[in-house]
Chains A and B, each alone.
Chain A
Amino acid sequence: MRVEDRRGAADACFPSVRLAADAGVPSLVRGLERVWESAHDEAGWVTTTDHKKIGARYIATAFVFFILGGIEALVLRAQLALPGQALVDPATYDGLFTMHGTTMIFLFATPMLSGFGNYLVPLMIGARDMAFPRLNAFGYWVFVLAGLLMYLSFPASSLPQNGWFAYTPLSGPAYSPESGIDFWSLGLIFLGIATTVGGINFIVTIAKLRAPGMSVDRMPLFVWNILVTAIAMVFAIPSLTVAAALLELDRYIGTHFYDPGGGGNPLLWQHLFWIFGHPDVYIIFMPAAGMVSSILPVFVRRPIVGYPALVLASVLTIAIGFGVWAHHMFAVGLPVQALGFFSAASMLIAIPAGLQMAAWIATIWAGRALWSTAFLFAVGFIVLFLLGGLTGVMLGALPFDWQVTDSYFVVAHFHYVLFGGMVFPLFGAFYYWFPKMSGRLLDERLGVANFVTMFVGFNLAFFPMHIAGMLGMPRRVYTYPGGSALDALNLLSTAGSFLIAVSVVIFIANWAWASRRGHVAGADPWASNTLEWATASPPPVYNFDRIPMVRSRDPLWDKRTPRTASEPADLATSRRQTFGTSPIEARAETYLRMPMDSLAPALAAAALFVLFAGLLLKFLVVVALGAVLVIAAVVLWLWPTREVRGAHLPIDDAPRAIEPGRAPGWWGVALLVGTDATMFVALLASYFYLGFAANASWPPPEIERPRLLMPLIGSALLLGSSAPIAWAERAIARGDRTRLLIGLVVGWLMSAAFLTVQGFEYLQKTFAPQTNAYGSLFFTITSFHGLHVVSALVLVAVLVARGLRGQFSRDRHLAVQNVALWWHFVGGAWVAIFAALYLSAQVLR
């Protein structure tokens, strides 16, 4: 069926409506273009904060990594095609499977879905950009540079060889003295910054920038899934960051977190890694499931069945996903009694997964399917993910897991879940949203060829691995003995993997052809239901000339007259702005001023790259230079610009003071506090875990019990410093600038005194980070907190400088509120540290 015919068939069911504002008032459109357009030169390319450009870059860059990871997989499969081959040596094979897994999980899957989220979420919720456009640009540049850092291990001839979960002690200094694992772990810490800020940005955007009327029961399911994914990112990444940072400390300065000889425990790595790793599976899967929930209703011409069930399933899957990390550790010797709970929790996930399956199948069943390529990929996903889910339930059963752990059965399972569950929806999404992004349609005949080769190739590649695993073939071996059933199974898998490659080549050819010669799509070629199709293809820089007013779950299928929200045209064309709405009911609350383009995000990312490169090379001067550059870039970023009217906003037009709970910036800082608090929890949990595992007194007998006098003085200073900061905040709320400055300076001095006291305490210690695991934890936790104090001091110093220039008033002091929140958090974190490191030591010893 031709696209035009499909459109006609669709219109018969749902006469798709356009927003009245689509026609566009020429003066309004010109004004919006002037305000939102990025510069058309090289500088504009770097400084742009347009979510569509950033989203498209994420997609393109992640696709490049997909190709790289795919090439690595093809080499692996070529090596395994026949027994006893020597295409690559064992060390190279180890490096390639490590980089393949790392690339596909960290550099392809998550960023690709972030790219789609970046591009689509503001359009789907009727906003003009993300909540923090500069943070968005920063996230992209960090992602690119982190990927570059990891891939520099190729020219450095130092590939990590420990698999994508880099278990200790293999990845520790004793067994991996080369720098390959440093590229890997520093790259992941660096990348984690991008993922975390991306997650925070998605949450605040979805919570605060939805078009008026889009209450939570009217949000597109893709947006719901991005929301729950973002929440998972914010609270899962810290565990990985802590794990990798502790590994680097073990490798660089000789701490003992994972070293049993020094009181550490290799299982600590597995706990920390999988507390991140299992939710990460859902971080990858959930946005893809949202894509399917977007595609299916459009191509079966009916609203999705079981919308509340699908929302429930998304929320529950992510929540339960945090509680099943230990099912990756069934074979490491944890008490069977304890593993029973994790087995039960793993089975529990089958309930939300089943709900989703039922809703998707019911939607297809109840509609009239138009078998487009996007729909084919969505259906292919359902079949493959069902198979992957079933083997997941099998692996959730302890006795079965023990039989097949670390075999090719597990490889087959997670490829059905991740390739079937993410790559198939992704290709469906390409066919579905490519017209929106490019204005042209991908060719359907090539699309069907793309689907058939990928579906057949995938099953040919991965289904035999189930059998190979059951026959006992372990994963991560570079060859196997000939003359058994494994020969044919491996040959089939290799053939399948090359067929997948053919499929990807077909897609690239289709994309290249369609980009120039594809049929013009128009605003809405599929007669779709969600707001991104209400604007032109590709969308204008400002997304919507008038922000839509939403009155149903499927606004473009709503037969009532479409409406737009009230927004003064002169305000909309004088500055970048979008609506700020309430989180649950999406009631319009304020006009949010959006920042202009800036070089600061790219500079901050580059400065971080310098810092991480210095760490990698162990050049402390470079590390220090990077740190100074980061601080300078952040100050540049936060410093308000005063430019001529028309291009940038004068400071006088900054938003008026709004309730802390209503300001996106406040939400951003609160979420940053949440992610940071998770890092402290991970560190303190590590402290108690190693103490518990030591099965003796903690601190160990050779370490003296911490004295309390100096820490008590320090605690009084730090906690007391919250009072003048709070006083300053209240003062500026009344418009008193003098008291603001006095409060900030007094708070600053008290915190600086805390650091001094802590420095004295360090000097009095009779142990060092290298003494044993206790010493490692003590100094790591306290100095990590000390870094937070330093960050708070820098921020307050910036506030003081801005205050001296008269940039705060009763109506404009959001920055003060945000920094105060951070300040109080730093004090609160110290309370937990003091209780754990100082008070508990009086009891546990």
Chain B
Amino acid sequence: MNRDRLLWLCVATPITAWAAQLLLAYFLASLACSKGIALPVASHLVTVAALIATVGALLVTRRIRSDLGAGGAFLASVSALGAAVLLVGIALGELALLFVRGCA
């Protein structure tokens, strides 16, 4: 894959991973509540997958940064910082999964 496309992929991955975790966790929690069952383990697996994808994007971004032009390198830096913030977001989502209970 060429560098530009890889860069865009790395820009999009963290936000997609965070959004996927949010939406899937929301869906699974709603499902669990409507069926009267415990929150499925899959919700935690979603968190793990989101973390892996985000960390992966962060590492790749750092790696390709030096091969890009000034604008591309800037985008890569911003993307890496964004990935770091979104890691916090994914962790916060997991905390909510672990500690917030109840369907009422």
Among A316, A334, A348, A352, which residue has its beta carbon within 8 angstroms of that of B92? A348
Considering only residues 273-319 of chain A, those with a C-beta below 8 Å from chain B are 308-309, 311-312, 315-316, 319
Q: Give complex CA distance A320, B82 in Å.
A: 11
* Contact (A323, B19) CB under 8 Å given A215-B70, A308-B74, A312-B82: yes
CB distance from A174 to the nearest CB of B (A): 26
Which A residues are in CB contact (< 8 Å) with B15? 319
* Contact (A344, B32) CB under 8 Å given A335-B102, A337-B102, A338-B25: no
Q: Give complex CA distance A751, B15 in Å.
A: 37
Which A residues are in CB contact (< 8 Å) with B89? 320, 344-345, 348
Q: Does A340 contact B (CB under 8 A)?
A: yes
Chain B residues with a Cβ closer than 8 Å to the other chain, count = 41
Which A residues are in CB contact (< 8 Å) with B74? 215-217, 308
Which A residues are in CB contact (< 8 Å) with B19? 319, 322-323
Please encode chain A, from 190 to 214, with 1 for each CB lying within 8 Å of some chain B CB and 0 for all others.
Answer: 0000000000000000000000000
Interface centre among A216, A217, A340 (most CB of B within 10 A): A340
CB distance from B6 to the nearest CB of A (A): 13
Which A residues are in CB contact (< 8 Å) with B97? 337, 340-341
Among A216, A335, A343, A692, which residue has its beta carbon within 8 angstroms of that of B75? A216
* Contact (A308, B82) CB under 8 Å given A215-B71, A322-B19, A345-B89: no
Q: Give complex CA distance A275, B92 in Å.
A: 21
Please encode chain A, from 175 to 186, with 1 for each CB lying within 8 Å of some chain B CB and 0 for all others.
Answer: 000000000000
Which A residues are in CB contact (< 8 Å) with B39? 337
Which A residues are in CB contact (< 8 Å) with B1? none
Q: Is B85's CB under 8 angstroms from A348's CB?
A: yes
Q: Does B64 contact A (CB under 8 A)?
A: no
Q: Give complex CA distance A376, B12 in Å.
A: 38
Q: Give complex CA distance A334, B103 in Å.
A: 8
Q: Is A344's CB under 8 angstroms from B71's CB?
A: no
Whose C-beta in chain A lies nearest to the C-beta of B12?
A319
Q: Is A585's CB under 8 angstroms from B30's CB?
A: no
Q: Is A344's CB under 8 angstroms from B77's CB?
A: no
Q: Give complex CA distance A699, B22 in Å.
A: 27
Q: Does A586 contact B (CB under 8 A)?
A: yes
Q: Is A308's CB under 8 angstroms from B81's CB?
A: yes
Please encode chain B, from 8 to 45, with 1 for each CB lying within 8 Å of some chain A CB and 0 for all others.
Answer: 00000001001100110110011111100001000000
CB distance from B4 to the nearest CB of A (A): 7
Which B residues are in CB contact (< 8 Å) with A337? 29, 32-33, 39, 97, 100-103
Q: Does A695 contact B (CB under 8 A)?
A: yes
Please encode chain A, from 376 to 407, with 1 for each CB lying within 8 Å of some chain B CB and 0 for all others.
Answer: 00000000000000000000000000000000
Among B25, B73, B77, B100, which residue has its beta carbon within 8 angstroms of that of A336? B100
CB distance from B86 to the nearest CB of A (A): 8
Q: Does A326 contact B (CB under 8 A)?
A: yes
Q: Is B82's CB under 8 angstroms from A316's CB?
A: yes
Among B77, B82, B93, which residue has its beta carbon within 8 angstroms of that of A341? B93
Considering only residues 46-90 of chain B, those with a C-beta below 8 Å from chain A are 69-75, 77-78, 81-82, 85-86, 88-89
Which B residues are in CB contact (< 8 Å) with A340? 96-97, 99-100
Whose C-beta in chain B lies nearest to the C-beta of A398?
B100
Which A residues are in CB contact (< 8 Å) with B101? 336-337
* Contact (A695, B34) CB under 8 Å given A340-B96, A344-B93: yes
Whose C-beta in chain B lies nearest to the C-beta of A336?
B102
Q: Give complex CA distance A585, B96 in Å.
A: 41
Q: Give complex CA distance A86, B65 in Å.
A: 66
Q: Does A508 contact B (CB under 8 A)?
A: no
Q: Is A352's CB under 8 angstroms from B85's CB?
A: yes
Q: Is B78's CB under 8 angstroms from A341's CB?
A: no
Q: Is A315's CB under 8 angstroms from B18's CB?
A: no
Q: Is A308's CB under 8 angstroms from B85's CB?
A: no
Q: Does A347 contact B (CB under 8 A)?
A: yes
Which B residues are in CB contact (< 8 Å) with A712? none
Q: Does A351 contact B (CB under 8 A)?
A: yes
Which A residues are in CB contact (< 8 Å) with B81? 308-309, 312
Q: Is B26's CB under 8 angstroms from A341's CB?
A: yes
Q: Give complex CA distance A109, B11 in Å.
A: 30
Q: Does A91 contact B (CB under 8 A)?
A: no
Q: Is B71's CB under 8 angstroms from A585's CB?
A: yes
Q: Is B88's CB under 8 angstroms from A348's CB?
A: yes
CB distance from B2 to the nearest CB of A (A): 12
Q: Is A336's CB under 8 angstroms from B104's CB?
A: yes
Q: Is A585's CB under 8 angstroms from B85's CB?
A: no
Q: Does A584 contact B (CB under 8 A)?
A: yes
Q: Is A323's CB under 8 angstroms from B100's CB?
A: no
Q: Give complex CA distance A253, B93 in Å.
A: 42
Considering only residues 333-383 of chain A, those with a C-beta below 8 Å from chain B are 334-345, 347-348, 351-352
Q: Is B93's CB under 8 angstroms from A345's CB?
A: yes
Q: Give complex CA distance A244, B61 in Å.
A: 41
Q: Is B103's CB under 8 angstroms from A345's CB?
A: no
Q: Is A585's CB under 8 angstroms from B92's CB?
A: no
Q: Is B78's CB under 8 angstroms from A315's CB?
A: yes
Q: Is A323's CB under 8 angstroms from B29's CB?
A: no
Q: Give complex CA distance A311, B79 in Å.
A: 10
Q: Is A316's CB under 8 angstroms from B85's CB?
A: yes
Q: Is B82's CB under 8 angstroms from A584's CB?
A: no
Q: Give complex CA distance A342, B18 in Å.
A: 12
Interface centre among B19, B72, B96 (most CB of A within 10 A): B96
Which B residues are in CB contact (< 8 Å) with A316? 82, 85-86
Which A residues are in CB contact (< 8 Å) with B96? 340-341, 343-344
Q: Give complex CA distance A584, B8 in Å.
A: 11
Q: Give complex CA distance A309, B85 in Å.
A: 12
Interface centre among B22, B97, B99, B101 (most CB of A within 10 A): B22
CB distance from B23 to the nearest CB of A (A): 8
Which B residues are in CB contact (< 8 Å) with A323? 18-19, 22-23
Q: Give complex CA distance A586, B71 in Å.
A: 9
Q: Is A312's CB under 8 angstroms from B22's CB?
A: no
Q: Give complex CA distance A585, B73 in Å.
A: 10
Q: Give complex CA distance A337, B43 in Å.
A: 12
Q: Is A312's CB under 8 angstroms from B78's CB?
A: yes
Which A residues are in CB contact (< 8 Å) with B70? 215, 217, 585
Q: Give complex CA distance A24, B51 in Å.
A: 56
CB distance from B1 to the nearest CB of A (A): 15
Q: Give complex CA distance A311, B11 in Å.
A: 13
Q: Is A215's CB under 8 angstroms from B69's CB?
A: yes
CB distance from A428 to the nearest CB of B (A): 26
Which B residues are in CB contact (< 8 Å) with A311? 78
Whose C-beta in chain B lies nearest to the C-beta of A347?
B92
Q: Give complex CA distance A337, B70 in Å.
A: 44
Would you mind naming 26 contact pairs between A and B with Cβ atoms under 8 Å apart?
A215-B69, A215-B71, A215-B74, A217-B73, A312-B78, A312-B85, A316-B85, A316-B86, A319-B82, A334-B30, A336-B100, A337-B29, A338-B26, A340-B97, A340-B99, A341-B22, A341-B93, A342-B22, A343-B96, A344-B95, A345-B22, A347-B92, A348-B88, A348-B92, A351-B85, A585-B69
Task: List 14 extra interface pairs beyond A315-B82, A345-B93, CB under 8 A.
Answer: A217-B70, A311-B78, A312-B85, A316-B85, A323-B23, A335-B30, A335-B104, A336-B101, A336-B104, A337-B103, A338-B25, A338-B29, A342-B22, A584-B72
